Amino acid sequence: MTSVDTRHSPFYAWIDHVAIRALVRAAVDLPAGERLVLIKGLIPGLVDDIGEAALERFLDEVRIKAQRYAEAVAHPGEGGATRRIASEPLGGPVRDGEAHLPGTRDPRRPGGRALERQWETAFWDEIGGTTEHDSRADRARGY
C-alpha cells in the first residue's frame, strides 16, 4: 500500500487520519471483488450527500489516479517527468464533498508543491473550511 503525505494541505488536515487509515487497511485485506462491492455500496450515500454531478467529478479524479498509478508502475524510477497523464486537481475533500481550484498539481511548477499548498490554504480559508476544532466537535457529535 502506498502512502500520501497529506499533513500540509488544509484539505486533508481536518480528517481523522487514524480512522481513515484503519478503514483503508481493513479494506485492502479484502479480496478485490469484495473491495469493489464495498465501493459500490458507498455510491448511493454519496449521491444522496453530494449529488450525482459531484460524484461524477470525483469518479473522474479516481480514473486519473488509476491511470497515473498504472503509468508510474509501467515506468519505474523515471519520475514524473515522463508522465503523460494529467495530475489531480488542486483542492480536495471538505466535510460535505470536495472543493477544487482551477488547474492541477504540477511539481515542476516554479514554487512547486509549496506554492500549491499556499493557494490551497488561501482557498480553504475563503470557503470557510473545517478547522481541527470543528472536526473534533463533529466527531464528538457522531458526524
**pLDDT of res. 138:** 53
**pLDDT of res. 101:** 83
How far apart, in whole angstroms, are the C-alpha atoms of residue 78 and residue 73? 10
Residue scoring higher pLDDT (24 or 13): 24
32 has pLDDT over 80 = yes
Closest residue by Cα to residue 123 from 98, 140, 106: 98
83 has pLDDT over 90 = no
Mean pLDDT of the chain: 80
| pTM of this structure | 0.66
Q: How confident is the model at residue 3 (pLDDT cuts 50, 70, 90)?
A: very low
Extract the C-alpha cell encoding 85: 497523464
Burial class (CB in 10 A: 0-12, 13-18, 19+), 62: exposed
Phi, psi (rounded to 5 degrees) for 56 = -60, -45
- The pLDDT tens digits for 40-61 are 999 999 999 999 999 998 998 8
Highest mean pLDDT among 4-18, 20-34, 58-72, 119-133: 20-34
Helix (H) or strand (E) holding 33: helix 32-50
